[in-house]
Amino acid sequence: MTTWAILLAAGRGARFGARKQFLEVAGTRVVDRSVHGAHDVVDAVVLVLPEGERWDGPPVHAVVVGGAERSDSVRAGLAAIPEDAEVIVVHDAARPLASRDLWRAVIEAVQAGADAAIPGVPVADTVKRVDAGRVVETIERRDLVAVQTPQAFRAAVLRRAHEAGGDATDDAGLVERAGGTVVVVPGEARNRKVTDRDDLVVLEAWLGTGVEG
């Protein structure tokens, strides 16, 4: 199956205070690590960047400008992928240590028949629902997972889910709403998303001990 990847690197970094995807970890930019990781597994990569950003990193098949919301950026990436693509993988470039094995796991799950495949890690902490500062419910964590990217999809299923519009924190959510079958593969603790500067410190430490995808 022809497999394409959409790498989302269009974040403006408002909360972080900088465009985190362009910061360096152990001497290499976060986004460059993600591009290299994708290239090792898929046939072609579409990179989604903020408006006005010039790409000067590893070669990719196409560079497009992202939108105001995450789903807008995914749709911009989809528009650059040919209709004959069979599997599309969506990945947050801010997760630079997703292993090649993890990429292969989600792709192979879709090739085996799933509409979508996502990595999930068990929730370790007790989770409570809170309203106005008061606990209203303790949620059973046994069946909960924290979801990561890369997420793989049958191309036609992902396109249909996005044609319906709307936004979601992950594309699997849109596929779920459309009635698609989403399976979970084991995620990775080291597949950490850079959300604050402490995450950069952790990634630096892992890379310093030879932990890489």
Predicted local distance difference test score (pLDDT) of residue 13: 62
Residue 182 forms part of a structural domain? yes
* 213 domain-assigned: no
Give the CATH number of the domain where residue 110 resides. 3.90.550.10
pLDDT tens per residue, range 60-114: 999 999 998 999 999 999 999 999 999 999 999 999 999 999 999 999 999 999 9
Residue 73 structural domain: 3-208
186 φ, ψ (degrees, to nearest 5): -60, 125
User: What is the residue-averaged pLDDT of the chain?
Assistant: 92
SS (H, E, C) the chain: CCEEEEEECCCCCCCCCCCHHHCEECCEEHHHHHHHHHHCCCCEEEEEECCCCCCCCCCCCEEEECCCCHHHHHHHHHCCCCCCCCEEEEEECCCCCCCHHHHHHHHHHHHCCCCEEEEEEECCCCEEEEECCEEEEEECCCCCEEECCCEEEEHHHHHHHHHCCCCCCCHHHHHHHCCCCEEEEECCCCCCCCCCHHHHHHHHHHHHCCCCC
Tell me, what's the pLDDT at 207?
A: 85
Residue 79 domain-assigned?
yes
Given this model, what pLDDT does residue 152 score? Answer: 98
pLDDT of residue 12: 73
pLDDT score of 206 = 86
Give domain status of residue 138, yes or no: yes
Q: What is the pLDDT of residue 115?
A: 98
pLDDT given for residue 185 in this prediction: 98
Give the separation between CA 55 and CA 6, rounded to whole angstroms: 15
Low-confidence residues of the chain: pLDDT under 70 = 13-17, 209-213
Q: How many domains does the chain have?
A: 1
The pLDDT of residue 200 is 85
Question: Residue 208 has what pLDDT?
Answer: 77
User: What pLDDT was estimated at residue 135?
Assistant: 96
